[in-house]
Structure 1
Amino acid sequence: MKFINYLESIAGISIYPMASLLIFSIFFVFAAFWAFRADRNMVDQISRIPLDNDDTQSL
C-alpha cells in the first residue's frame, strides 16, 4: 500500500497543504517587507557579522 493511500484515509487531511502554503506565504511576505524596510546600515552590519573576527575569546 502506498503512503498516499494512508493519507487519503485521514478525514480533513486536505486542509494541511493549504495551511502550510498560507503559513509560508505570510512568512515570506513578512520577510520581504522587513528586507525592503530595513535600514541600509543595519543590513550592512548584519552582512558583516560572519566575517568579523573581533571576538577575544577562542574556543
Structure 2
Amino acid sequence: MKFVNYLEKISGVSIYPITSFLIFGVFFLIVLAWAIKADKKLIEDISNIPLDK
C-alpha cells in the first residue's frame, strides 16, 4: 500500500501542508528581514569565521 493511501485515511490531513508552508514562509521572511537589517560588519565577521585559522 502506498503512503498516499495512509494519508487519505486521516481526517483533516489537508491542514498540514498549509501549516508547514506558513511556518516556512514566516521563517523565511524573518531571516530575510534580519539579513536586510543586520549590520554589514557583523555579516562580514560571520562569513570570515571559517577562514580565521
Point out the structure with the larger helix share. 2
Structure-1-length-normalised TM-score: 0.86
Name the larger-Rg structure: 1
Q: Which runs of 4+ in 1 moved over 6 A?
A: none
Q: Aligned partners of 2:46, 2:20: CA distance in 1, in Å? A: 29
Q: TM-score, normalised by structure 2?
A: 0.95
* Highest RCO, 1 vs 2 (Cα 8 Å, sep ≥ 6): 2
Percentage of identical aligned residues: 55
Question: Structure 2 stretches of 5 or more lacking a match?
Answer: none
